[in-house]
Amino acid sequence: MFILILFLVAGSLLVYISKFNLMPVTVNLKFYTFSNVPLIFVIIGSILVGLVFSYLIYLIRAISTSLKLRGKNKEIKKEKDQVLELTKRVHQLELENEKLKHGSDKDSEDSNSL
């Protein structure tokens, strides 16, 4: 609902501005020349081109950020795997330490180990 109201206000502003900017102008685009173009079309075209360029810049920045985050997520996953392996190794060493303390020669496996 808010967006609808925003569009109505923006449209009303464009209508008000266009009422006073109907004089014909000549637009030169390097190789092309357009004559007798109403000034309001030039204004609206400039706004649209600016919006498209800003959206493209935003899109490029968003893609770049997502690629950086993807790399960081891979790095975090790798570090978590390393922590898990080290935890397993510590648990195995603790079991060996207990075997050596108590002098038991039988190989007992801990069913609760990772």
Tell me the pLDDT tens digit for each residue of 27-48: 998 889 999 998 888 888 998 9
With bands split at pLDDT 50, 70 and 90, how would you rate the model's confidence at 68?
A: very high
Indicate whether 36 belongs to any domain. yes
The answer to whether residue 114 sits within a structural domain is: no
Contact 96, 108 (CB under 8 A): no
> Is 26 part of any domain?
yes
DSSP-derived secondary structure letter, 106: S
Residue 11 lies in a domain: yes
- On whether residue 88 sits in a domain, the answer given is no
90 found inside a domain: no
> Looking at the whole model, is its pTM more than 0.75?
no
The domain of 59 spans 2-74
Helix (H) or strand (E) holding 27: strand 24-29
Question: What do you get for the CA distance between the two ends of the chain, in Å?
Answer: 54
Residue 81 domain-assigned? no
Number of folded domains that form the chain: 1
Domain membership of residue 63 (yes or no) is yes
